[in-house]
């Protein structure tokens, strides 16, 4: 992004930024030394935006402005070059899941599980977390999110990663998305390990975080809006409740990482104020 305007922090830019979002102009407002700085995507014309600002400040009606790039909005939002983290999550999930044969290879799965384990007959033997971390295997804190155990499992999770990631990353930045993935992945993995041990995997905790985050962001009037169905939270809570009742396992969907889902959802809700802070103080 490039800076195009610098104005006093006391100036209310809400009307201007709302207009820019309506026209599909990806931007961010940061606060630096008592000043507000408006940043926009590199492909935008800074002179045109400065003229728009002067027109608006002189009393001009933004509703009457015809923005020439509005027709390109949707294409710009889904440009692959603007989605490095989203695409990386998808690629790594397929790579790791194929490496473990979608759970068929316990030996390879043990390389990336939360702690190393061995299956001896009907018994599961695994190392404790602290000795594992002390030995330097810190990657295990995150890698379980990339392990999936069926084609349906991975496609369902990555569909939501794409839907939310392709809306979040171009407008709020890769930094905020990375932060949410790390925060929700680490917290949901740790919580699930404490409940069930290391035999789990999947992006579901992160997905619940992404959905919870996008739901609360829109509910609080955040811009730009994700635009996902308002009933999404109800669906997530219903799915979460089904998992805890055991119904999903009973119909053949396998073991459900319910704790990871719950903690991931809470992590996503908690990330909203953090993301607002990052958006205000990053360029």
**C-alpha distance from residue 252 to each of 31, 152, 255, 256 (Å):** 52, 12, 9, 11
**C-alpha distance from residue 241 to each of 47, 158, 194, 247, 254 (Å):** 53, 22, 20, 9, 16
Residues contacting residue 128 through CB under 8 Å, at least 6 positions apart: 115
Tell me if 114 sits within 8 A of 140, measured CB to CB: yes
Tell me if 277 sits within 8 A of 30, measured CB to CB: no
3-state secondary structure of 5: strand
Tell me if 184 sits within 8 A of 267, measured CB to CB: yes
Q: Is the peptide bond before 224 cis (omega within 30 degrees of 0)?
A: yes
3-state secondary structure of 31: strand
**Distance in angstroms between the alpha carbons of the first and the last residue of the chain:** 7
List the catalytic residues: 204, 261
Residue 171 to residue 226: CA distance in whole angstroms: 10
3-state secondary structure of 138: helix
Residue 274 to residue 100: CA distance in whole angstroms: 35
């Amino acid at each position: 992004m490039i800076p195009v305007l610098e104005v006093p922090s006391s100036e209310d830019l809400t009307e201007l930024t709302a207009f820019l979002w309506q026209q599909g102009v990806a931007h961010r407002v940061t606060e630096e030394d008592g000043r507000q700085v408006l940043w926009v995507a590199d492909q935008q014309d800074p002179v045109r935006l400065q003229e728009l600002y002067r027109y608006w400040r002189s009393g001009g009606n933004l509703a009457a402005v015809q923005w020439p790039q509005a027709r390109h909005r949707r294409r710009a939002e889904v440009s692959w070059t603007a989605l490095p983290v989203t695409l990386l999550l998808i690629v790594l999930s397929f790579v790791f899941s194929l490496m473990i044969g979608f759970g068929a290879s316990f030996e390879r799965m043990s390389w990336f599980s939360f702690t190393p384990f061995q299956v001896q007959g009907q018994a599961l033997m695994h190392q404790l977390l602290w000795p594992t971390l002390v030995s330097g295997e810190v990657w295990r804190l995150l890698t379980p999110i990339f392990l999936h155990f069926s084609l349906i499992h991975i496609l369902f999770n990555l569909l939501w990663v794409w839907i939310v990631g392709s809306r979040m990353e171009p407008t709020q930045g890769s930094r905020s998305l990375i932060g949410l993935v790390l925060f929700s992945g680490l917290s949901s993995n740790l919580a699930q390990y404490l409940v069930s041990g290391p035999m789990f995997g999947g992006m579901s905790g992160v997905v619940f975080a992404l959905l919870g985050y996008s739901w609360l962001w829109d509910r609080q009037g955040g811009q730009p809006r994700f635009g996902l169905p308002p009933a999404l939270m109800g669906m997530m809570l219903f799915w979460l409740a089904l998992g805890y009742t055991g119904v999903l396992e009973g119909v053949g969907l396998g073991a459900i990482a319910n704790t990871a889902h719950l903690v991931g959802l809470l992590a996503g809700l908690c990330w909203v104020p953090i993301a607002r802070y990052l958006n205000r103080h990053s360029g």
